[in-house]
Structure 1
Amino acid sequence: MDDSFKRNIEYVFNNFFSEEEIEQVLSDINGLSHPIFDIVNPYCYDSSNNNGFTRENVRLAFNIIIKKNSEWLNKIKKRLINNTDYSQPSSALGELRCYGYLLEAFTGYDVKPTDKSSTPTPDFSIINKNEIVEVEVNTPQMNGEEQKALEQFNNQQNSTTHNKPCIREHVTAPFGRKNAKCVTENVIHKITSIKEDEAQFSKKTCSILWVDLQDSHMNSIDDRCRSSCPIFTGRGYSSMEDYFSNELWYATYASKGTPIFESVNLGEGIPVKELPKVTYDGRFCKKRKSIVDAIIFSLPHNTVIYENPYAKHKIPKWFIEAIQNVRWYSYQGSKLNFPDHILRNQLRIDRKIITSLSQKELKHW
């Protein structure tokens, strides 16, 4: 391991870790790298630069927190450098990013971590006079079976054929690929199942679920935040632009039986006899009676908020105004009642779009 890794760790975390702790972070388990390693890896290049954005997000959040609440950083330090269970540093990084984002956006408000107790509690609270908004953070992890398959692939010895290098390839579906008719359905299901029991949320206060999807294995859906439309087009299996379901919208607002689009084309191809259907209600469907008032999806260079149209607690105006200062906030990627309280009308139109498209003579490549 060359010194550039250590330099990046020192750059991002401002010399927070000792030499011994850095060595822990640079180790791996069963062929999988530590979440901090993924962030600081100077040789990790991707066309989206998601890791580069995440590195800066962590650095800026860390520097904000260390000035405001260094004690909190010391409390999560063991989780950050844990090298026996990577879900620990992954979730700690998600909380760190969230806390830094909130401190930066809610200047003038009291943003503080919640004291942990024996009963489930949210991670942070934002207080404005006598109003409280509580925030619970979740950092989704790679599907267990997919992780195991990746471990096995990484642990295989590199081989050569006739003294020539052998290039190996492994395709991963981080959200899972089984027990569904298409990969998109697995993505939708994993997102809508986050904190499904809602045990950390209170019926007495405004509750926000913060979903951090900046983990290197989970950040591939960042482009879903470009628009809050339920359907988007992109390059699929055909040579033309295909139709896809926006998994964030579906996980939040789709009702059972909603058609799913995965690389569906209106041009030439094989006619689609029947599109896959969602087999469960999204979190903010009226039937589920969710006590979560909004979900914030945080990705490498997008932050969007999806409001519950049937929320028990109206999101305070001061919160809506301040959250628009949060890092990477995208209004066009969000679903809000702000400013004209027309979210339910927007969702009715969205559902009509899905229904109309599903009734066309669609083609599937």
Structure 2
Amino acid sequence: MTDSEHIDALKKVAPHLASRLSDERVRQVLSVTGTHKAQPVARLVRAATRDFEFDRLTLLNTDTAIKWATRNEGIRTWLDRKISTACNESAFENSAAALAEVRALGALLEAGFEVEPLSESRDPTPEFEVSAGGEKVRVEVHCKQMNGEEAERLAKFYASTSERPAKGNVNVTTHIAHPGGRPRQGENVGQNVAHKFASIKAGARQAEGPSILWLDLQDEDWWAIGRDYAHPLISAHDALMTGPLWAGLYGRRSTPILEGAFAERTTTGRPALRMGFPGLFQQSAGWSAAILAFPRDTLILENPDPSAGIPLSIAPELLSLPWVRFEHSWMQWPHQTNRSLRQRIAEAHRRLRGAASRSHVL
């Protein structure tokens, strides 16, 4: 497909994004050689002509966010600066982060918040201050990237060439990538994903007062992660596993990380792997809540013991976020205190321990 065809498709499918990009800028990002993944804006441009749901929804969410942002004259300069950063030809992590901030800002505006981008500096600071119902909350946006070693392995795989097959034959080469890091002895995939999301980026700090960590999960690195991973105990391929996103936020050092566990009538098999590190909320009371923003789902997970909780008065706006799934969220609302949330989390830990004690772990 030619660049012109990509440009025409983008203008039809995502007109608001297209309006912030010149045709020359689109051609420029399309010409960028990928690493373990495509240049993030180029990925969105190509999504206009592809049927891969993850990429198409991410494109539409980005376009909708830009629509909301352009309605606010005071935000347009900020938006253009972020779009320029997103078109970076080498530092893909900066490009992905800029797009994540655009999507977060647009979603907050759509939900009815007043949003003020905060001044940027070398010191880590929240991206936005949002207000509703007379309350103000700081929002910091993170866009987690694939483990560095795994990204390098995947890039080498894409760059490799296989031998030309004999006539009538087809060569198929596969590669298994682990975005959270390849498990070493005594580790498993779920534990490494949990650790990725339990980790606070170097130098990050939370503002005084209510503070939300917005985790954008629409980057290409995390296409295999979905809302089910934010449940404490799930079934996959006829086996039980600990939801790694839930563990990364609510887990404790002793939390069982089940993976390939089969229920038994009696205690059998080897002991389940334990997490070995505290979850994000155990590490820091500074985060009032985390918002997980998937392409088709938005989940709100509150800290059960924050230094400053989410004000109940902003619940209407939080529950108006695009794609919000209250049934998959972990919130104190509609209760006045966090007691019910603490009880719910404690019960989830009991279920995990019970499943670990009556499962056969492969």
> Structure 2 length normalisation: TM-score?
0.89
Partner of 2:83: 77
Map Cα deviations across residues 7-59 of structure 1 (whole Å, 9 max, x no partner).
Answer: 3433421332122211222122346411122233246555xx22222121111
Partner of 1:127: 131
- Is contact 1:255-1:280 (8 Å) kept? yes
Q: Does 1:351 align with 2:355?
A: no
Residue 58 of structure 1 aligns to which amino acid in structure 2?
A: T
Map Cα deviations across residues 243-280 of structure 1 (whole Å, 9 max, x no partner).
Answer: 01111210111110111111211159x94211111010
Partner of 1:36: 41
Q: What is the CA–CA distance in structure 1 between the aligned matches of 2:105 and 2:182, rounded to whole Å?
A: 32
The structure in which a higher percent of residues are helix is: 2
- Is contact 2:142-2:216 (8 Å) kept? yes
Q: Does 1:324 align with 2:319?
A: yes
Partner of 1:53: 57
Partner of 1:272: 269
Once the two structures are superposed, the pairs formed by residues 192-231 of structure 1 within 5 Å of their partners are 192-195=198-201, 197-199=203-205, 201-202=206-207, 204-224=208-228, 229-231=231-233
Residue 353 of structure 2 aligns to which amino acid in structure 1?
A: T
- Is contact 1:133-1:206 (8 Å) kept? yes
Partner of 1:308: 303
Partner of 2:187: 181
- Is contact 1:187-1:247 (8 Å) kept? yes
Residue 41 of structure 2 aligns to which amino acid in structure 1?
A: I
Structure 1 stretches lacking a partner, 5+ long: 236-240
Partner of 2:111: 105
Partner of 2:143: 139
Q: Does 1:19 align with 2:26?
A: no
Query: Alpha carbons of 1:155 and 1:40: their partners in 2 closer, same or farther (altered >3 Å)?
Result: same
- Is contact 1:125-1:133 (8 Å) kept? yes
- Is contact 2:96-2:143 (8 Å) kept? yes
Q: SS of the residue aligned with 2:240?
A: strand
Query: Alpha carbons of 1:296 and 1:223: their partners in 2 closer, same or farther (altered >3 Å)?
Result: closer
- Is contact 1:222-1:300 (8 Å) kept? no
Q: What is the CA–CA distance in structure 1 between the aligned matches of 2:332 and 2:202, rounded to whole Å?
A: 24
Q: Does 1:284 align with 2:281?
A: yes
- Is contact 1:230-1:350 (8 Å) kept? yes
- Is contact 2:135-2:314 (8 Å) kept? no
Once the two structures are superposed, the pairs formed by residues 134-173 of structure 1 within 5 Å of their partners are 134-163=138-167, 164-173=169-178
Q: What is the CA–CA distance in structure 2 between the aligned matches of 1:118 and 1:358, rounded to whole Å?
A: 45
Q: What is the CA–CA distance in structure 2 between the aligned matches of 1:205 and 1:245, rounded to whole Å?
A: 32
> How far apart are 1:149 and its partner, in Å?
0.9
- Is contact 1:293-1:315 (8 Å) kept? yes
- Is contact 1:125-1:134 (8 Å) kept? yes
> How far apart are 1:165 and its partner, in Å?
4.1
Q: SS of the residue aligned with 2:140?
A: strand
Q: Does 1:65 align with 2:65?
A: no
Residue 210 of structure 2 aligns to which amino acid in structure 1?
A: C
Q: Does 1:93 align with 2:99?
A: yes
- Is contact 1:207-1:292 (8 Å) kept? yes
Partner of 2:329: 334
Map Cα deviations across residues 203-241 of structure 1 (whole Å, 9 max, x no partner).
Answer: x2210000101112213111326xx54101121xxxxx2
> How far apart are 1:134 and its partner, in Å?
0.3
Q: SS of the residue aligned with 1:339?
A: coil
The alignment's C-alpha RMSD in Å is: 2.2
- Is contact 2:62-2:103 (8 Å) kept? yes
> Structure 1 length normalisation: TM-score?
0.89
Query: Alpha carbons of 1:322 and 1:156: their partners in 2 closer, same or farther (altered >3 Å)?
Result: same
Aligned residues: 348
Query: Alpha carbons of 1:143 and 1:8: their partners in 2 closer, same or farther (altered >3 Å)?
Result: farther
Identity %: 26
Residue 180 of structure 2 aligns to which amino acid in structure 1?
A: F
